[in-house]
A and B are shown apart, each in its own frame.
Chain A
Amino acid sequence: MSVLMTLAAVAVLALASFVLSRQRALASAGGNPRLMHSLPGYYGWNGAISVLAPALAALLVWLLAQPMVIEARISAALPVGMVADPAARELAMADIRRVADGLDTAVAAGALSLDQAAALTAADARATLGEVGVALGAEVSDATLSAARDYRATSAWGAALRTILVLAVAVAGLIWAVSRSHKDFRARNSVERVVLGLLIAASSIAVLTTVGIIWSMVSETFDFFSKYPAKDFFFSLTWSPNFRGGSELGILPLIWGTLYITVISMLVAVPIGLFAAIYLAEYASRRTRAWVKPLIEIIAGIPTVVFGIFALVTVGPALRDWFAEPLGLGNSGSSVMTAGIVIGILNIPFISSLSDDIINAVPQSLRDGSYGLGATRSETVKQVILPAALPGIVGAILMAASRAIGETMIVVMGAGAAAKLSLNPFEAMTTMTVKIVGQLTGDTDFASPETLVAFALGMTLFVITLCLNIFALWIVRKYREQYE
């Protein structure tokens, strides 16, 4: 029985358990729900859960375990020459799986009967499977074919056993739940415990994601450092990956490009964002504010790839034609300046809305005191409000910087791909995110340092942005003025 059919059967059993448990509990109370501990529905739910939970758990465990057990068995039976080292073993297993799948497809398509599949010889396996659209790279060896047959047989046997086990567990759950259904049974508590477990599991997914991020990058990063010296990665001034070997993978030019672009973007975003926030919070009328604030926030809702196109098609050529070429600073449309300015624009609403909230949180009494002493509005802003709001604003700026560092599409489309250490802002440079995309798209070989370096770059990026965010939160918390 296929997995889907098994699931359907379990669902039917769960429904049956729901109805039976509920009826039995009601019957035990003589049909009067008021004599029962819980509402009748809870008895039903308890019945359904008692079927579903163990059966699904058994199915999941089996689905995860079966391939591992079978592969261990098959590879133990293979000739020693085919499983000399892990890579060869992986290849041999992949071949076996492909042949086994091919046999399945052939049988399903009716090209082979079961007997023919069993009698198929290695010599004509490839041709036969080719006819049903299963392309095999090389001729099939006898060992592979017999292993594949073995694989099929064990898999089929495993599937049968799985169905039996899962259904048995489901039926056992049904019997147990129905037998427990009595008017005094605390069905609601038992159901609520399961629901609470589900809620806890859901909230743990956030932690699991972080664990997944760290695990996925740490293991590959270690793999990278075993193939490429860490000292060269962190201190070399050259980035020239070469998939034929002998590449130099120094991160410094990438960090330089990233930081240069970030600084330019902050030079754009901070003054504009901050002044916009000040104007909206201190000067604008209620009506203006109600219109302008959402308009500025539209910028934050536009996908970054749109900004990328803007950099590529509009900003880049404009900067090249009006500034770089007349000043003799270069003739490249993609440049640090292009990417920096566009990321700056992207960050304006981020800074302005965060700062706006922070400025609004400064109590009115401070403003009134300043006005009472005869200060003008701008003097109040500069000498009272900004100092009071400074930690929050610094926090907002750091968070915006972390966003700029991690920004990908704009730099991919606007900054260029050449890793350079240069001061000229009109020259194309590149960033860590660009190189992550570059090294991981297209055909990749997860054994070469040129691919694995992307994980080390990702790890560096993750650590930098995480530190910036934690630092920002720390500043906000430490220097927050406590009013009232």
Chain B
Amino acid sequence: MTDLSAAAPALPAPRQKPSLLAPSARMRRRNAAEARFRLYGLAAIALALATLAIMLFTILRDGVSSFTQASLSFPVELSAETLDPKGNRNPAELSKVTTIGYGKVLTAALLAEVERRGIATDLSDKDISALISKDAPGTLRAQVLADPTLIGTTIDATVFAAGRIDGFLKGRVTLESAERDSNISPEQLRLAQQLVDAGMLTSAFNWSFLTNPDASDQRPEAAGLGVAILGSLYMMVLVLILCVPVGIAASIYLEEFAPKNRWTDAIEVNISNLAAVPSIVFGILGLAIFINFAGLPQSSSVVGALVLSLMTLPTIIIATRAAIRAVPPSIRDAALGVGASKMQTVFHHVLPLAMPGILTGTILGLASALGETAPLLLIGMVAFVDNYPSLPPEGILDPATALPVQVYSWASRSDPAFIERSNGAIIVLLVFLVVMNVAAILLRRRFERRW
């Protein structure tokens, strides 16, 4: 090279002799980078778990209270004059008295009880009666119609308190928030406090949250999950019936019999793609084919089950194929060696041995189907349903709703009491999911075999 002058000063400065005992500056930097990197990993895990914890915590915090419910108990005189004007206890005559009539009976009874206990209040009678849930007259009417001998007696009725009063007992509604609320006044809350002190207004575990059907916007306290749980149950059973045989049959064919050709390749590619199709697309499919084309009724659990089955099928096929593949070839060879046919080998030996794995995959697939919401919105399961579907087989054509859909439809209502119900519904849903997942884990632990 010609440019000698440039090369000469490029000689490195004499390096410090590295010591094994004292780390050099560079080594310290590298070690610091190492520590930082490790910390990022820890932070990422901590962040993910913290978010999970926060989410579960907020759901529990907001939702647990939906399992208790404030109710008013007071003696109600079911006077024969108002409830059975003709006095002949004829069910047809009795049912002519509407819930308005029963509402008046309840109001009168509550006013009388408040007066008897000497609870002083300057509220109007109408404001006092607003403490009773709008659902209560209907419940009382059903009770009387079921047992007409009650008429003329005085019963100790326990009826739901209105949603705002329930919220007051749970701390959601306060005297301050009542100032701004047109549905309740601070005076009513003070009266409620007096009733609590007098032991008339109490909070207790709320079974009706699990059994009642949905209720209208005005009556959050009466809304329950009965129809949703039933609908989800119907759908899960149907998915099990529709999906599992087909999934297992498809897996057996693909794993044991399928020749390597274009058709089986197409099937394989299809299954892996179907597993990645957004769930809402399955909803469009259900709407277009099962409802518009095949004419099945909207919001029915059978349509929901068909859609969920198509969605779950790839999951079940993938799990089943893995389970079948895990059965060692020696089993097949032994069976074939003693003269079993290919079909006998599969059905008598491979399938029973793969069963635990298949069951585990099936339960996990069902669990994900149970939590699916979006496709069910499109096939009309978000509609307001307050009648229980009848028993199968006709019941699968009745309108129903599903647990996750109920969560969504409650969350989109305006009354904050429904957010509490929505979180309560999530707790129920999560309990079901935990049970299913634990079952899958136990099944795997109990029957898993290493070859």
Contacts and interface: CB of A to CB of B under 8 A. Distances in A.
B434 to A, nearest CB: 9
A402 to B, nearest CB: 6
A354 interface: no
A402 B54 CA distance: 26
Given A206-B274, A280-B45, A409 B408 contact: yes
Contacts of B408: 305, 308, 409, 412-413
B310 interface: yes
A16 interface: no
A198 B249 contact: yes
B387 interface: no
A305 B258 contact: no
A198 B281 CA distance: 27
A58 B342 CA distance: 31
Contact of A306 (B283, B378, B430): B430
Given A209-B313, A436-B378, A188 B284 contact: no
B38 A295 contact: no
Given A217-B288, A379-B30, A462-B277, A192 B341 contact: yes
Contacts of A299: 48, 51-52
A407 B214 CA distance: 27
Interface in B353-391: 367-368, 370-374, 377-378, 380, 382
A406 B341 contact: no
Interface stretch (A68-76, A244-252, A309-317): A309-317
Interface string A300-338: 011111111110111000000000000000000000000
Interface in A164-212: 188, 192, 195-196, 198-207, 209-210, 212
Interface stretch (B112-120, B143-151, B221-229, B419-427): B419-427
Contacts of A381: 37
Contacts of B30: 376, 379
Given A303-B373, A433-B278, A312 B411 contact: yes
A130 B270 CA distance: 51
A305 B283 CA distance: 16
B64 interface: no
Nearest to B281: A462
Contacts, number: 251
A454 B284 contact: yes
B249 A465 contact: no
Interface string B258-274: 10000000110011111
Nearest to A271: B44
Contact of A309 (B36, B273, B405, B407): B407
A378 B37 contact: yes
Given A206-B267, A304-B371, A314 B54 contact: yes
Contacts of A305: 371, 373, 404-405, 407-408, 426
Contacts of B42: 279
A270 to B, nearest CB: 10
Contacts of A455: 284, 288
A339 to B, nearest CB: 14
Contacts of A462: 277-278, 281
A279 B292 CA distance: 51
B341 A206 contact: no
B17 to A, nearest CB: 18
Contacts of A279: 38, 41-42, 44-45
A45 to B, nearest CB: 12
A407 B9 CA distance: 63
Contact of A436 (B284, B342, B367): B284
Given A408-B280, A465-B276, A272 B47 contact: yes
B280 A348 contact: no
Contact of A213 (B38, B281, B313): B281
Interface residues of A, number: 85
B281 A206 contact: no
Interface string B413-451: 000000100110010011001000100000000000000
Contacts of B105: none
B253 interface: yes
Contacts of B404: 303, 305
B73 interface: no
B205 interface: no
A236 interface: no
A396 interface: no
A203 B250 contact: yes
Interface in A265-280: 271-276, 278-280
Contacts of A473: 272
B33 interface: yes
Contact of A440 (B274, B287, B422, B429): B287
A479 interface: no
B285 interface: yes
Most buried by B among A213, A303, A313, A454: A303
Contacts of A207: 266-267, 270
A188 B344 CA distance: 10
Interface in A346-368: 348-349, 352
B278 A199 contact: no
Contacts of B137: none
A202 B405 CA distance: 30
A203 B258 contact: yes
B41 A275 contact: yes
B54 A204 contact: no
Contact of B281 (A204, A306, A461): A461
Given A292-B49, A458-B284, A202 B372 contact: no
B336 interface: no
Given A199-B257, A206-B317, A313-B419, A409 B43 contact: no
Interface string A430-446: 00010011001100001
B407 A205 contact: no
Nearest to A191: B343
Given A210-B273, A213-B282, 7 more contacts: A202-B247, A202-B249, A275-B45, A279-B45, A305-B404, A345-B48, A465-B276
Nearest 6 Cβ contacts at the A-B interface: A406-B278, A303-B371, A279-B41, A216-B288, A202-B249, A275-B44
7 contacts: A199-B252, A202-B253, A206-B270, A216-B289, A304-B371, A352-B48, A407-B278
